[in-house]
Amino acid sequence: MNLVRSIISVFLIALLGISIAGWIWAGGQPTPKMQGSRVVLAICGFASTGCLLLLWSAKPGRPSQQHPSPADGT
Amino acid sequence: MSTATCSVPQASDQQTWMEKINGPYHKQALYLYTAIVLAHWCEHLAQAIQIYVLGWPIPESRGVLGLWFPWMIKSELLHYGYALVMLVAFWILRKGFVGQSYRWWMLAFWIQFWHHIEHALLQGQAIFRHNLFDSPVPVSILQLLIPRVELHLFYNTVVFIPMVIAMFYHMFPLPGEAAHQGCSCAWQPRTAPATAASA
């Protein structure tokens, strides 16, 4: 299972890196496109970070102590 | 979680294929589905690296397979087909989830439903050869505000994140939820060094 978490983590880290690179790249775009791009890239970056932290918050055999629900928003 | 609350269920002839895929074969089905989703992610991430890091022009940034098969990135039918496959897989595999994991899984399903509508709009414009909003290329609703590459990176993120959270709560069920899972997806505790290698 750690393998599964590790593989998914690689993708989440890559997504975070891409979001940062995209944020920088979008700075060179025309203003309306830049704003739209940066908003969604920021969401991608924060969401990937939060998911990464959650993914590694649990230990085998121990129930998770965090109980976020979809209503809390991601 | 103890092994007593999560014994590995066995397939029986009385079970329908839906019951099997959400029961004894749920883990294998999720592995397969996750592999497909991650392969698709590879293409989007590769395309983003080509644009943001390598500085390639957007039309030349076609991911990995698109470099050898350029038609793939231009085919609205392929994009729509994949969105539909994801949607169907979310629906088919939903019954294996319970409680918190079910709520996150269905959130991913509904976001993917909207994503699929957006691709249906693009596919419709390709079929009827008439683009919305007098655009020179097929456009979706949110594409009016956000460029296509970033928009679909975003769509894939907001579908993938709840999907991962659902699988997290499926692997680590909340107290009381494990007993209701009819599959073997929940993580078994490492009780002895001899079993550690199989985890």
Which run of H or E residues covers position B119? helix B99-128
Q: What are phi and psi of B61, to 5 degrees?
A: -90, 95
CA distance A67 to chain B (A): 8
What mean pLDDT value characterizes chain A? Answer: 85
> Does residue A63 come out as left (phi exceeding 0), alpha (psi in the -120 to 50 range) or beta?
beta
What residue type is B179 in one-letter code? Answer: A
Tell me if A33 and B147 make a contact (CB, 8 A cut-off).
yes
Between CA B153 and CA B159 the distance in angstroms is 10
Query: Residue B92 contacts by C-beta under 8 Å, 6 or more apart in sequence?
Result: B18, B21, B22
Q: What is the pTM (predicted TM-score) of this model?
A: 0.86
Residue B2 CA to its chain's centroid (Å): 29
Instruction: Say whether residue A1 is in contact with chain B using an 8 A CB cutoff.
Output: yes
Question: What tens digit of pLDDT does each residue of B7-51 get?
Answer: 556 767 788 999 999 999 999 999 999 999 999 999 999 999 999
Tell me if B165 and A48 make a contact (CB, 8 A cut-off).
no
Domain boundaries, chain B: 20-188
Query: Residue B70 contacts by C-beta under 8 Å, 6 or more apart in sequence?
Result: B62
Give A50's contacts in chain B (Cβ within 8 Å). Answer: 161
Q: What is the pLDDT of residue B5?
A: 45
For the question of an ipTM over 0.90, the answer is no
Q: What is the pLDDT of residue B187?
A: 82
- What angle separates helix B148-171 from helix A2-26, to the nearest 10 degrees? 160
DSSP B173: P
Q: What pLDDT tens digit does each residue of chain A (74 aa) get?
A: 689 999 999 999 999 999 999 999 999 988 888 999 999 999 999 999 999 999 999 876 555 444 555 544 43
Q: Which of B41, B106, B164 has its CB closest to that of A55?
A: B164
Categorize the per-residue pLDDT at B128 as very low, low, confident or very high, splitting at 50, 70 and 90. very high
Interface of chain B toward chain A, CB-CB under 8 angstroms: 1, 34, 38, 41, 45, 48-49, 51-53, 100, 103-104, 106-107, 145-147, 150-151, 153-154, 157-158, 160-162, 164-165, 168-169, 171-175, 187-190, 199
Nearest CA in chain B to A66: B174
